[in-house]
A and B are shown apart, each in its own frame.
Chain A
C-alpha cells in the first residue's frame, strides 16, 4: 500500500511541476518537425528545399504522369477500360483546362518577400533564389493567361485585416496583353541573374527564361493576329488587338535569337540512326544538349512515374499491362514523305486496289524519321523486342480469321492447315480489348528503354521536357514567317527537318502557315503543345468541328497538310496477313483503315472553349471579375 502512495505522490509532483510552467511558455513550444521562416532564410540549402517544393507544383496540363490526357484530342486513342469515354463525349466542358491558382501565387509572393527581407544570405545566392521564384511565378501567370485570358496580377502577398470589408483585396482582371507583358518583362529582368548554364535542367536558367519568353511572346502574337470579335471582351481581359501582333512576334524572334546565338544549346544528334536518335532525345539524361527545362524524376525516391508501365508494348511488357496510349492514324499519316510531300499510308493504291507488302513495316518506309521515333510501328522494336501487332488473317475470299485475346491460337481455321495457329498478334489489335494496340500503334516518345522501367516496383525516371531547343527553333521560324521573312523561317526550320532525315530543304516559297502548323504537330506530338497551339491559332473550332469522319478521309487524302483539316475522331490502321496459298501475294501484309468501335462521338470545340470558364466561386468572391465570352 505504501508503495502505491509513493507512486501517486511522485506522479502528482511530476504533473504539478509540469503545470507550474508559464502558460506562454507552454504555448510557445518550438515545433520539432518544421523550421521557422527566419531559420530557413539563413541557409541557401534550406531555402533551396523550399524552392524545390515550389518547383514541384509548376503547372503542366499534359505530362507523362497523366498519359490519358493525350487521348483527349486527336493525337491518341486511350486503350484502357476506364478511358474510352474520352472518345465518346462530343463537347468539351467550358470549365475544361481551367487554372486559377492564387494559393500558389501567394506562396511565391511570400517566398519573394521573405527573400527580399533576408539579411544573412550571400548576395549571389539570394539573387539567384529570388530570380528562380520569379521565373516560376512568370510560368504560373503564363499558364493562367493561356488558359483563362487576363487575370489579376498580384505581386505581393495580400493580408486580410479582419475589418469585415474585403473590398481592398478584390482586384479586377488585367488585360490579356498586360499579363503577357508582365510575363515577358519578368523574364527579361531575370534572364541575366539566372545562371547561363546548359547543364542545369531542372532549375531555372537563362536558357529556360528565354525559351519561356519566346513561347509566351509567340502565344500573345498569334492570339492577337488570329483573334476575332467573338473572342474578345470590351475591357480587353480577353483578346489582344491585332495591331500588337508584330510587336510580340518581334519579341518572340529576338528572345529565340538570343538563345540560339548564345550557343549553349544544340539539337540532340548523338545517334546516327535518326529515329533512334529522336526517341532517345527524350530519355537520355546525360549531357543532353537540346533539353532546356524539365520536370525531373529520380529512381528509388518517390519521384518516379509510370508512363512506361502504362504504355509499354503488351507482348513484351514487364507487367501484365501496358499499351494504353495508341497514337492515332490521324497523327501517323501527318508525318510526311522524304520528298516533303504528304500522303496517306497506302493501304490501297490510287485506283482503290489493295496494296500487298512483303514486310509489315514497308508501308511506313520512306517517311520522316520522327515517325518511328514517336510511334512504335508494327514490326519495329522496343527494348530489343519486336512488337507483335497484326489483326489476323485475310483469306483469298476476303473473309477474316482473327481472335479476341492477345496472341490467341485457334484450331483448323486456315484452309489446308490442320492444328492450331496463332490468329492475332501478341499486341493485338483487338477491338475493345484494353492494352492492345487498338489503333495499330503504340506510343514511343518518352517510353523508357531502361531495364525495369516497366515494373511497378521500379518505375521510370525519364524526365518531362517542358522546353527544348527544337521548339525554340520552330518558334523563331514561326515568328520570322509571320513578320514576313520566309527565308529566315526556312533557315530556322532546316536543322529540325535535317535531323528528321528530310534533307531536301524547304525554300522560302515553301513556307506557309500550314507548314508551320504541320511542323509543330509532328515534332512536338505528345509534348503537351497541341491544345495550346490550336487555341492560339484559333483553328481548334475548325479542326475539332463536331462532324463525323469516315475511313475515306484516310484513304488517298489530299488535304493532310492543311492546318484546318477536320480531325474529330481517332482512326487506326490494322495490318492483316494475307493467306491464300498459290497466290503470288500469299504471306504478304495488307492494311485496313479502321475506326475503333469505342470511338463514337466527334469532338467539338466551341468558341466558349477558347478561354476556360472562371469558377463560379471566384466570381462570387470577387464581383470585379468578368466572365469569359461565349459561355
Chain B
C-alpha cells in the first residue's frame, strides 16, 4: 500500500515536471511603435478607424496583422522578430500612400529584431494648421487654418465639411461627442480663416472640463483628419 502511495506521488512529480517544459512559442517580445507623420508632424485620426497591415510571408496561409492608429497618430504593436511588409490599404486614412509602378499600394519592408521605433511618412490631403481652442461664456470657440497639401488635379480632393466636436471624455469623434458644429465645405470661403463654436452642454456628473477637436471630412474619403485632443478647463 505504502509502495503504491510513493508511486503515485512520484508519478505526480514527474507529471508536473514534464508539464513545466516549454511546449509553445515565446510570446512576441518586440515593440514596434511610432507615429504616422507628415514632415515630422503627427497626423491625428479617429480612434480605431485607420489601420495598417503587416504581412509576414513564409508561414503557410497569409493573413495580415492589423495595427490600428491611435487618436494622436501613434501606433504600437507587439511582434515576433522577423521580416514584414507594411502597407496601408487603399483609401485608408485621410492621406495618400505611395503606389508602385502597377498602380497598387506600395509596401515598406520592415525588419524587426528587438524593439523598433519608426515614423511612417504619409501625404495627407490637408493639414490643419494653428488650431486654437478657448472657452468663453459657456462655449467652446475654435479656429484653425487648413493647408491643402495635395494640390494636383488627379489626386486633390475638396472639403466636404469641417466639424468641431466636444466630448466629456478624451475620445472625441463623430460617434463620441456631446456637441457638434459643422461648416459645410461649400460654405467655406477662406481656408485660412475657419472658426466654429459649440455650447458646452450640461454634463452628468458635473465636470469642469471638456475635450475638443476639429475634424475635416474630405470628399470621397471615409476617414477624417483631426487635430490633437485638447482639454479645456472652465
Mask: chain A, 215-246; 1 = CB below 8 Å from B; 0 = not: 00000000000001110001000000000000
Is the CB–CB distance between A546 and B89 below 8 Å?
A: no
CA–CA, A627 and B89, complex, Å: 10
Contacts of B177 in A (CB 8 A): 548
CA–CA, A606 and B91, complex, Å: 11
| Choice from B103, B220, B222 contacting A608 with Cβ under 8 Å | B222
Q: Report which A residues bind B (CB closer than 8 A).
A: 90, 228-230, 234, 541, 546-548, 601-602, 604, 606-608, 616-617, 619-620, 627, 629-631
| Choice from A546, A548, A616, A631 contacting B62 with Cβ under 8 Å | A616
Given contacts A606-B222, A608-B222, A630-B89, could you give 11 more A-B pairs where the C-beta distance is less than 8 Å?
A230-B220, A230-B221, A234-B103, A548-B177, A601-B175, A607-B91, A608-B91, A617-B61, A620-B61, A630-B92, A631-B90
A-B contact pairs, 29 of them (CB 8 A): A230-B220, A230-B221, A546-B175, A547-B174, A547-B180, A548-B175, A602-B174, A604-B174, A604-B175, A606-B222, A607-B91, A607-B220, A607-B221, A607-B222, A608-B91, A608-B222, A616-B61, A616-B63, A616-B64, A617-B61, A619-B62, A620-B61, A620-B62, A620-B63, A627-B89, A629-B91, A630-B90, A630-B91, A631-B89
Contacts of B62 in A (CB 8 A): 616, 619-620
Contacts of A90 in B (CB 8 A): 175
How many A-B contacts at CB < 8 Å in the complex?
46
Known contacts A90-B175, A630-B91; A228/B63 CB under 8 A = no
A157–chain B nearest beta-carbon distance, Å = 26
A88–chain B nearest beta-carbon distance, Å = 11
Q: Which of A229, A230, A619 has the most CB of B within 10 A?
A: A230
DSSP majority for the A interface?
loop
Q: Which 5 A-B pairs have the closest CB atoms?
A: A630-B91, A606-B222, A620-B61, A546-B174, A616-B63
CA–CA, A617 and B89, complex, Å: 18
B45–chain A nearest beta-carbon distance, Å = 14
Q: Report which B residues bind A (CB closer than 8 A).
A: 61-64, 89-92, 103, 174-175, 177, 180, 220-222
Contacts of A617 in B (CB 8 A): 61
Is the CB–CB distance between A228 and B90 below 8 Å?
A: no
CA–CA, A234 and B105, complex, Å: 12
A226–chain B nearest beta-carbon distance, Å = 13
* Nearest CB in chain B to that of A631: its residue: B89
Contacts of B174 in A (CB 8 A): 546-547, 602, 604
CA–CA, A86 and B90, complex, Å: 28
B106–chain A nearest beta-carbon distance, Å = 15
Is the CB–CB distance between B90 and A629 below 8 Å?
A: yes
Contacts of B175 in A (CB 8 A): 90, 546, 548, 601-602, 604
Contacts of B90 in A (CB 8 A): 629-631
Contacts of B180 in A (CB 8 A): 547
CA–CA, A37 and B131, complex, Å: 74
A152–chain B nearest beta-carbon distance, Å = 20
B213–chain A nearest beta-carbon distance, Å = 16
* Nearest CB in chain B to that of A616: its residue: B63
CA–CA, A4 and B103, complex, Å: 85
Contacts of A541 in B (CB 8 A): 222
Contacts of B89 in A (CB 8 A): 608, 627, 630-631
A46–chain B nearest beta-carbon distance, Å = 41
A94–chain B nearest beta-carbon distance, Å = 9
* Nearest CB in chain A to that of B90: its residue: A629
CA–CA, A234 and B174, complex, Å: 32
A301–chain B nearest beta-carbon distance, Å = 42
CA–CA, A159 and B212, complex, Å: 61
